[in-house]
Amino acid sequence: MWLAAILGMTTKFAEVTLAVAYRERNELGEYSGGPMYYIKNGLGQAWLAKVFALFVALAAFGIGCMVQANSIATSLLGQFNIPTWVTGALVVVSAGAILIGGIKRIGQVAEKLVPFMAAFYILGGLIILIMNAAQLPGVFSSIFSNAFTGRAAFGGFAGATVGEAIRYGVARGVFTNEAGLGSAPIAHAAASTDHPARQGIWGAFEVFVDTILVCSITALVVISSNLWNTSELEGANLTTAAFNNGLAGIGGIIVTVGLVLFAFTTILGWCYYGEKSAEYLLNTSKVIMPYRAIFVALAFVGALQEIDLVWNMADALNALMALPNLIAVLILSPVVVKLAKQFFTDPERVYIPADYVDIVKRK
């Protein structure tokens, strides 16, 4: 996961920079951008841009909606015994109320929830790690030794291979930070910024916080609890047990609150990704409200039932999204290099689009 994050910081910087550089204004005067725009405007491949947009519009219903709602419902049922249908209804009402306001409302909610949930979770994890400080040298040793034995893939399952450990580590890393998928640049393209590379830095920082900081704290808490090689526990249940082991009674609440807030803000973000992709496909903003209605309805469905099939479909769609996006990022990498050189030569300067538009046109 650490290696995936280091590579992901580079990938995220590139795709976010391109998303801002090639963005357009829609009929409402709002910025629209993302891989579909730099595939169309940068590569000149409109058909591939539409293929990417289709994958995002479909993937949003699964990984960004039903899976997240199910995670919220399952977590609240286990920790507070709240019925899944109640959670589903609350998610529909609260998400619907926010999504009606569009990207500005999503941004207003996210800027309040995200710092709180990150600080809440990180603080809880750090307290446990301070309490377990004597075990940390052995924890780091086990991370590096077990990375080459295969046990890292499935906890205590000794039959796992090193290849499986690598595959799961990379997959989990990408899942946490979306680097390379091309989804997050859709939101970054709406940002108010004076230079594409400046927003690209925020994209790289996003990966650092998600995977290097938050995921590392989770891993260290889990490994120091000595519960990681218990076959009965996995996923959120393993993390909850590890936090409860360090902070009895409080640890589970920290994990549950953190998971609910992380998943809820993910729902908001993925609805925006999906609706902007649908807007691109149909070339009209009129599709946005119907898309939101379907999206929030599926959140209720996801909260009520097991969705293993949705998980599998989401993994497949993620891979299909990443392929055209990474091809575009690779081919347009000279543009990224030129924009980065321009920005880092004079980062204090206030840029206007005319300052970097020639670079984009000349590729």
The residue extents of the domains of the chain are 2-362
pLDDT of residue 324: 92
Contacts of 43 (CB under 8 A, 6+ apart): 328, 331, 332
| Surface-to-core class of residue 193, CB atoms within 10 Å of its CB (0-12 exposed, 13-18 middle, 19+ buried) | middle
CATH number of 2-362: 1.20.1740.10
pLDDT of residue 37: 94
Gap between the Cα atoms of 187 and 164, Å rounded: 32
**312-319 LR contacts (CB < 8 Å, sep 24+):** 313/62, 314/59, 314/62, 314/63, 314/67, 315/171, 317/55, 317/58, 317/59, 317/62, 317/63, 318/59, 318/63, 318/174, 318/175, 318/181
| Surface-to-core class of residue 302, CB atoms within 10 Å of its CB (0-12 exposed, 13-18 middle, 19+ buried) | buried
Q: Count Cβ atoms below 10 Å from residue 172 Cβ, excluding itself.
A: 14
User: Comparing C-alpha atoms, which of 303, 288, 301 is closest to residue 99?
Assistant: 288
Q: Is 247 left (phi over 0), alpha (psi -120 to 50) or beta?
A: beta
- The residues with which 31 forms a beta bridge, in sequence order, are 25
DSSP 3-state helix, strand, coil percentages of the chain (rounded to 5)? 80, 0, 20
pLDDT of residue 153: 53
Q: Which two three-digit tokens encode residue 322?
A: 């990443």
The predicted model scores a pTM of 0.85
Task: Give the CA distances from residue 83 to residues 75, 250, 286, in Å, rounded to whole numbers and listed in that order.
Answer: 11, 21, 35
Full pLDDT tens readout for the chain, 363 residues: 888 889 999 999 999 999 999 998 877 778 889 999 999 999 999 999 999 999 999 989 988 898 889 888 888 887 888 998 999 999 999 998 888 887 778 878 888 888 888 888 999 999 999 999 999 999 998 888 877 765 555 554 445 566 777 777 777 777 777 888 899 999 899 888 999 999 999 999 999 998 899 999 999 999 998 887 766 777 777 888 889 888 887 888 888 888 888 889 899 999 999 999 999 999 888 899 999 999 999 999 888 877 676 677 777 777 888 899 999 999 999 999 999 999 999 998 888 888 888 888 776
